[in-house]
Structure 1
Amino acid sequence: MDSAHGPVGQPSLSTYDVVIVGGGHNGLTAAAYLARSGLSTLVLERLDVTGGAAVSKQAFEGYDARVSRFSYLVSLMPEQIATDLGLDLELRSRSTASFTPYARDGQALGLLVERPEGGATRSSFETLTGSAEEYETWQTFYADVEKMAGVIAPTLLDPLLPESEIAAQIDPTTWRQVVKDPLGAAIESRFGDDLVRGVVGTDALIGTFADLNDPSLIQNRCFLYHLIGNGTGEWRVPVGGMGALTDALRRSATEAGAEVITGAGVSGISSDGSHAEVTWHDGSTYHSVAAGHVLSNVAPWVLRILLGEDAEPGIKPSGSQLKINLLLDRLPKLKSGVDPEVAFAGTLHLSEGYEQLRRAYAEAAAGQVPTEMPGEVYCHSLSDRSILGSFPGHTLTYFGLHTPEALFETPGNKELAVERALASLQQHLAEPLEDCLARDRAGNPCIEAKVPQDIEAELAMPGGHIFHGDLEWPWASNRALLDTPAQQWGVATHIPNVLLCGSGARRGGAVSGLGGHNAARAVLAVR
């Protein structure tokens, strides 16, 4: 499945209760909530397809297999949103949590983490470390984090709580290690094995360019977001691909009465704080409508431009990721002898030992493509064969870390990064990856790579930053002003009736729908 294509429609009204700029998953979530509450709602999407980064596409000529083009898994979306909006959507658990291949004394092995964890996981840790101690530490650490998630997750669909109220409900040691001190300190003090340390640290670096000991704590915030979803942080596969998620959201919104116009590139927003006007261009003509509220599903940096304010290049977000989609005739065999359908079923960690991550960060910060490219591989088709269509093989997705936007300003670095990313996988394979790759009609291997510049060009995300900017803690500071509904829900801008509803909202990061839900609640609170 995929979202509707082609420029669609003209507005039926000249004035709407709410106009939403951007038809990504958060914009559609907001539209569904607002329309179900009886508000006239218009969604304007620049592209000819809704969904933003959460879309599926037939990426390789000659094959009807569909890949999740940008976003690829769902962990943070509360189940309550799917229930509230009546989404026809299945999120499927993966049978393996992670597998990390490694070599010791010339022997190819792998650290396996089952879902749920069992005897094979314990045995795998003991083979790696020589005792049960590291696995027991692993269990204790993640139990502590899960308790923390159990406190935070239920607050995500409510007005922001001050930090002090959240902290009072969480073990002080866990709070200090996750919220107050650089995450690297906790990892280094609690774990002894370099590979285990790296596996723990990777959740802090997905889409975030930072050292694990960065004093800004940006890595801590990324780690928290990846582990609090629904109190478990489990990353699940949307059956039908990411496009199925946004298809379901769009259906919920339009069936409730929301209007969606694609091919509508918004060029300006004006507001006096009570009444707003939104202008867009459909490729041939300018249009405008009035609105009581405008919800921005674009990055805050882009919103400034739409409001006629200075762009300020110095504060433009900068993303950090390398996304590679592949189509395989078959899954490759591994040197360790582990069944590929086990190893590739979850998150397969590559070159993500703790010291490898630190070296890769230092190299990338110096403007060099990491010698050992850290990254993760996912095989969604092991969990959901519906995305393959008639293709009998498999999809494979690689997500690279420590690949900041600036790195790809140098000609040739994208190609070098892809080469090293695939080499990081090849070193653990018992056969050439090239022999397993499908080829398109022109005979080219089915490989599609995206760097931050590609994401900015295709999705207008500034700097290709998948979170629209640095993530913020999912609570309010103790001194924050929480006088208005917009402030209370973490969606306020400096204009009272222009609100954030995308990833740039507090608690908006990742594929969650939280930005859309919370903006809708803020609007409804003043209606």
Structure 2
Amino acid sequence: MSRHDTIIIGGGHNGLVAASYLARAGQSVLVVEKNDWVGGAAVSRSLYPGFTYSNCSYVSSLFRPEIMRDLELPKYGLQILPYEGGAVLTQDGGYLATHRNHDANRREFARHSPRDAEAYDRYSRDVMRHCRFIRPLLMRTPPDPSRLRPRDLGELAYLGRKVFEMSERQIYEMIRFWTISISDYLDEYFENPVIKGYLAVSAIIGTALGPMSPGSAYVLLHHYMGDVDGNVGAWGFARGGMGAITQALKNSFEDAGGEIRAGSGVARVLVKNGRAYGVALENGDTYMGNRIVSNMDVKRTFLKHVDEDDLPGDFVRQVKNFKIRGSSGKLNIALDAAPKFTALPEGAPMYRGDLHFTDSIERMERAYDDWKAGHFSRDPFQDMMIPTMIDPTMTPPGKHFMSCFVQYAPPKIEGRDWSDADRDAFGQTVIDQIEDYAPGFKNLILHAEVRTPRELEAEVGLTEGNIFQGELTFDQLLFNRPVPGYAQYRSPIKDLWICGSSTHPGGGVMGAPGRNAAAEILRETRGPNQISDAYAVF
């Protein structure tokens, strides 16, 4: 039986990133994937004739440009198409246009509130200062503050230097920002409810928090840290759907000599004498490796695929307490033609970006109240996009694909599992809401895929359907992610590693957890002085 240097469990984007770096470093790497395709949540799938769906993740910004360069992903066809903005459609029939350009945004804000237009410069300056603090940490392994190893002390000193580059007031503001609600934070700058509702959007995407929940402001920052073509905070569509990212990673990995076995999931990680040495698949196949790297979330890895007797009791308790709470659903809709929203001029550029209906923080919070009561939102928040306005390769000529990311959808309905009837009612609620703003929309629908946390967990392996593999709250960040003492991609079992979004720096199609995990593996196997310049950013 052949033996590999490394076996990666899960062909999602972080698993493929880690696999590609290790293969390029000369390792024999095998990726095992339960589905018949790779990509995890970043996939392009044909679910209706002639149409390509981005049926889970749907936009790109967070994916690190360093990874794109290192793994030569444009060579394998990856192209990110930036979009310019979007709109919030209001209940009174108006709209707030949004733009990637700061000055254009400021002018639109002035149409709704001259005072808020003036505050927008101050707000943007302050948020970007927080971004500048966080962004350099994305590609660094968190220090372990409980240990006195030179590298941990060096990383703590690095953090200290960054903190003390700020003024005393800025330090207080940063600590406060990480724990405050986005509602309270925006109240310090703005007065117009539509503007505040628009700016609060990034603070609730993918998280089981409402805009009035403490800690939601950081989630906004997490979404602001990406870039497209060097434009910080910009977003775009992967040409051909989000699967273009993972297909480019797959091709890069295979060109480096990597191997993929798809079609059967891992039943368990093989452990003996405190060391991982292989994986047993559900189809009965067994593969041996010098190390095992799990791209699954921390709960799925250690509570479902590792014998609890092989783990310390304290670690198991911490993993069980790690917060992974599903809050999102998704509709993917094939359309016979472009919808027409009553509030928007025909052909308006806002159609080419993200469209929202939730026009105030209070309305958003009421949607969250439904989630807390164990029900999907009756008046949900939608992050709705029509990527075919920019990328016509996804549909036949004249047709369109619409992606609707929806908050809030709980992992269980009033304490019980989702039924097909619940799923259908959720989908109908979303479609009815769109119809209110775009009369005739229902007549354009050729096909609709409805995905609740149940479908996200069953197909993609996201526990409770949580798209970040764990809440992005202050208690689960940096050296606390996933649990204290194990934030450096290692586990209590020797040679069992973890590289998914449950690790630092968290979720989204970013790739940083996979790259950082590969860096740590190479440091351990080759020594810090033997890593080639291609990986020297570690």
Whether TM-score is above 0.5 comes out as yes
TM-score, normalization by structure 1? 0.86
Q: Which residue of 2 aligns with 1:199?
A: 198
8 A Cα contact 2:185 2:217, kept in partner:
no
Q: Which residue of 1 aligns with 2:152?
A: none
Partner amino acid, structure 1, of 2:509: V
Shift of 1:110: 0.9
Q: Which residue of 2 aligns with 1:138?
A: 120
- Where do residues 66-145 of structure 1 align in structure 2 (5 Å cutoff)? 66-88=52-74, 89-95=78-84, 97-104=85-92, 108-119=93-104, 121-129=105-113, 132-145=114-127
Residue deviations 1:28-74 (CA, integer Å, cap 9, x gap): 111110010011111111111111111101112xx212010111111
- Where do residues 146-157 of structure 1 align in structure 2 (5 Å cutoff)? 146-157=128-139
8 A Cα contact 1:152 1:166, kept in partner:
no
Shift of 1:232: 1.8
1:427 maps to which of 426, 436, 447: 436
Q: Which residue of 2 aligns with 1:494?
A: 492
Partner amino acid, structure 2, of 1:42: L
Shift of 1:308: 1.3
Shift of 1:273: 7.6
Q: Which residue of 2 aligns with 1:268?
A: 268
- Where do residues 111-510 of structure 1 align in structure 2 (5 Å cutoff)? 111-119=96-104, 121-129=105-113, 132-160=114-142, 161-162=155-156, 164-169=160-165, 171-172=170-171, 174-215=173-214, 217=215, 219-230=216-227, 232-271=232-271, 275-281=275-281, 283=283, 286-304=284-302, 305-309=304-308, 317-388=324-395, 390-407=396-413, 409=417, 411=419, 412-429=421-438, 431-437=439-445, 439=446, 446-471=447-472, 475-476=478-479, 487=487, 490-510=488-508
8 A Cα contact 2:276 2:493, kept in partner:
no
Local SS of the residue matching 1:325: strand
Local SS of the residue matching 2:41: coil
Q: 1:275 to 1:366 in 2, by over 3 A?
A: closer
Looking at structure 2, the residues matched to 325 and 471 of structure 1 have their Cα atoms a distance apart, in angstroms, of 26
Local SS of the residue matching 2:280: strand
Shift of 1:103: 4.1
Looking at structure 2, the residues matched to 237 and 38 of structure 1 have their Cα atoms a distance apart, in angstroms, of 33
Local SS of the residue matching 1:17: strand
Correspondence 1:49 to 2:71: no
Looking at structure 2, the residues matched to 138 and 339 of structure 1 have their Cα atoms a distance apart, in angstroms, of 28
8 A Cα contact 1:266 1:278, kept in partner:
no
Local SS of the residue matching 1:49: coil
Looking at structure 1, the residues matched to 410 and 187 of structure 2 have their Cα atoms a distance apart, in angstroms, of 25
Partner amino acid, structure 2, of 1:387: M
Partner amino acid, structure 2, of 1:93: P
Q: Which runs of 4+ in 1 moved over 4 A?
A: 161-166, 272-275, 310-316
Q: 1:209 to 1:353 in 2, by over 3 A?
A: same
Partner amino acid, structure 2, of 1:94: Y
Q: Which residue of 2 aligns with 1:515?
A: 513
Local SS of the residue matching 1:202: helix
Looking at structure 2, the residues matched to 289 and 368 of structure 1 have their Cα atoms a distance apart, in angstroms, of 43
Shift of 1:213: 3.1
Aligned-residue Cα RMSD (Å) equals 2.6
Moved more, 411-420 or 143-152: 411-420
Shift of 1:112: 0.7
Q: 1:138 to 1:272 in 2, by over 3 A?
A: farther
Shift of 1:166: 4.5
8 A Cα contact 1:44 1:265, kept in partner:
yes
Q: 1:196 to 1:410 in 2, by over 3 A?
A: same
Shift of 1:499: 1.3
8 A Cα contact 1:65 1:391, kept in partner:
no
Partner amino acid, structure 1, of 2:212: N
Q: Which residue of 2 aligns with 1:15?
A: 3
Shift of 1:315: 5.8
Local SS of the residue matching 2:61: coil
Partner amino acid, structure 2, of 1:125: F
Looking at structure 2, the residues matched to 495 and 182 of structure 1 have their Cα atoms a distance apart, in angstroms, of 38
Looking at structure 1, the residues matched to 507 and 67 of structure 2 have their Cα atoms a distance apart, in angstroms, of 15
Looking at structure 2, the residues matched to 112 and 173 of structure 1 have their Cα atoms a distance apart, in angstroms, of 33
Looking at structure 1, the residues matched to 236 and 289 of structure 2 have their Cα atoms a distance apart, in angstroms, of 37
Q: Which residue of 2 aligns with 1:4?
A: none
Q: 1:153 to 1:179 in 2, by over 3 A?
A: same
Q: 1:340 to 1:100 in 2, by over 3 A?
A: farther
Moved more, 368-377 or 351-360: 368-377
Local SS of the residue matching 2:123: helix
Q: 1:340 to 1:499 in 2, by over 3 A?
A: farther
The structure where helix makes up a greater share of residues is 2
Q: 1:85 to 1:381 in 2, by over 3 A?
A: same
Residue deviations 1:141-188 (CA, integer Å, cap 9, x gap): 123212322332233222335464554345335414421323322122
Looking at structure 2, the residues matched to 271 and 369 of structure 1 have their Cα atoms a distance apart, in angstroms, of 41
8 A Cα contact 2:374 2:410, kept in partner:
no
Looking at structure 1, the residues matched to 29 and 189 of structure 2 have their Cα atoms a distance apart, in angstroms, of 50
8 A Cα contact 1:375 1:398, kept in partner:
yes
Looking at structure 2, the residues matched to 316 and 211 of structure 1 have their Cα atoms a distance apart, in angstroms, of 15
Partner amino acid, structure 1, of 2:251: R
1:28 maps to which of 16, 19, 34: 16
8 A Cα contact 2:277 2:495, kept in partner:
no
8 A Cα contact 2:179 2:218, kept in partner:
no
Local SS of the residue matching 1:172: helix
Shift of 1:463: 1.1
Local SS of the residue matching 1:59: strand
Shift of 1:383: 1.8
Q: 1:407 to 1:164 in 2, by over 3 A?
A: farther
Q: 1:481 to 1:169 in 2, by over 3 A?
A: farther
8 A Cα contact 2:384 2:405, kept in partner:
yes
Kindly tell me the number of residue pairs found equivalent between the two proteins.
487
Q: 1:187 to 1:332 in 2, by over 3 A?
A: same
Partner amino acid, structure 1, of 2:298: P
8 A Cα contact 1:18 1:292, kept in partner:
yes
Looking at structure 2, the residues matched to 492 and 191 of structure 1 have their Cα atoms a distance apart, in angstroms, of 44
8 A Cα contact 2:277 2:291, kept in partner:
no
Partner amino acid, structure 2, of 1:270: L
Local SS of the residue matching 1:326: strand
Identity, % of aligned positions: 26
